């Protein structure tokens, strides 16, 4: 049943449903984990009815943040996604207290563009004060279709 709101003089008005949800997964820092995290994220975005083009961007963000943690992190990695209201927040945590820093990549470099992509695709991004968590947010249109 949808929640209802009583407004003075307006009677009962049905509020639009808000898709909310979250998932968290912990995994060992192995290269194969990147693909698994992309598939898990895709499945949840489908459940949350995130439109395909936005879902592609979110999966790319997850891929870049998880790849950084696999390559530069320490210990097990946690991936957390939360969808609330009109925002999806992605967090990737490992035990390395050194925060990632974007670096320029030369035209023929095969890596080094991950945080540049995060900067372009995310609404906002940053790191926790302890340096262990890198996060980003993506705005989602309402309704998600």
- Domain positions in the chain are 20-98+113-139
- Cα distance between residue 138 and residue 51, in whole Å: 13
The per-residue pLDDT for 144 is 44
The per-residue pLDDT for 31 is 94
Q: Would you give the DSSP letter of residue 8?
A: T
- Cα distance between residue 89 and residue 131, in whole Å: 17
Length of the chain: 145
Structurally, at CATH architecture level, domain 20-98+113-139 sits in: 2-Layer Sandwich (3.30)
Other C-beta atoms lying within 10 Å of the C-beta of residue 37: 24
The per-residue pLDDT for 106 is 67
The per-residue pLDDT for 100 is 83
The per-residue pLDDT for 1 is 36
Contact residues for 9 (Cβ-Cβ < 8 A; gap 6+): none
Give me the tens of pLDDT residue by residue for the chain, a chain 145 residues long: 333 333 334 443 444 445 578 999 999 999 999 999 999 999 999 999 899 999 999 999 999 999 999 999 999 999 999 998 889 999 999 999 988 877 776 677 556 667 888 999 999 999 999 999 999 999 987 654 4
pTM of the model: 0.81
The per-residue pLDDT for 141 is 78
- Cα distance between residue 128 and residue 133, in whole Å: 5
Question: How far lies 3's CA from each of 15, 16, 76, 130, in Å?
Answer: 6, 8, 40, 39
The per-residue pLDDT for 121 is 94
Contact residues for 141 (Cβ-Cβ < 8 A; gap 6+): 51, 54, 86
The per-residue pLDDT for 145 is 42
Q: Would you give the DSSP letter of residue 15?
A: P
Three-state DSSP class for 69?
helix
Residues 27, 80 contacting (CB under 8 angstroms): no
- Cα distance between residue 101 and residue 76, in whole Å: 21
């Amino acid at each position: 049943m949808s929640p209802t709101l009583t407004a003075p003089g307006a009677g009962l008005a049905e509020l639009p449903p808000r898709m909310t949800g979250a998932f968290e997964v912990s995994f060992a820092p192995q290269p194969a984990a990147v693909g698994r995290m992309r598939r898990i994220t895709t499945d949840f975005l489908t459940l949350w009815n995130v439109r395909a083009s936005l879902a592609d961007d979110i999966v790319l963000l997850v891929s870049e943040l998880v790849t950084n943690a696999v390559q530069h992190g320490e210990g097990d990695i946690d991936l957390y996604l939360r969808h609330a209201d009109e925002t999806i927040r992605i967090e990737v945590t490992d035990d390395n207290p050194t925060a990632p820093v974007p670096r320029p990549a030369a035209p023929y470099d095969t890596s080094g563009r991950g945080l540049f992509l995060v900067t372009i695709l995310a609404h906002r991004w940053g790191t926790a004060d302890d340096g262990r968590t890198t996060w980003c947010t993506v705005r989602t249109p309402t309704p998600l279709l």
